[in-house]
């Protein structure tokens, strides 16, 4: 099986910021799907989602999960 050139096998991925984007749009029900890969380190991770609506009101949600 050929190796995927997008996967770095020579160096561990120890980033503290895993994914960042300024453009996530929700659907008409206010829902969105975001996918990302974790870093290589095990432990506790925290996901922070922040944004504004079209009226300029801010929202924020924090999720925590563990990678073993």
Task: Kindly give the confidence (pLDDT) of every residue in the chain, 68 residues in length, as a single tens digit, with 9 standing for 90 and above.
Answer: 556 766 767 778 777 787 888 888 889 998 999 888 887 888 898 989 898 888 999 999 999 999 88
Q: What is the pTM of this model?
A: 0.63
- Provide CATH code, domain 1-68: 2.20.130
Query: Three-class SS of residue 62?
Result: strand
Comparing C-alpha atoms, which of 39, 45, 35, 37 is closest to residue 13?
Answer: 39
Structural domain boundaries in the chain: 1-68
Comparing C-alpha atoms, which of 22, 5, 15 is closest to residue 37?
Answer: 15
């Amino acid at each position: 099986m050929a190796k995927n050139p997008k996967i770095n096998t020579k160096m561990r991925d120890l980033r503290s910021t895993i994914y960042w984007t300024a453009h996530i749009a929700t659907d008409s029900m206010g829902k969105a799907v975001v996918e990302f890969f974790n870093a290589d380190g095990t432990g506790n991770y925290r996901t922070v989602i922040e944004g504004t609506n079209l009226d300029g009101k801010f929202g924020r949600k924090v999720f925590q999960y563990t990678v073993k």
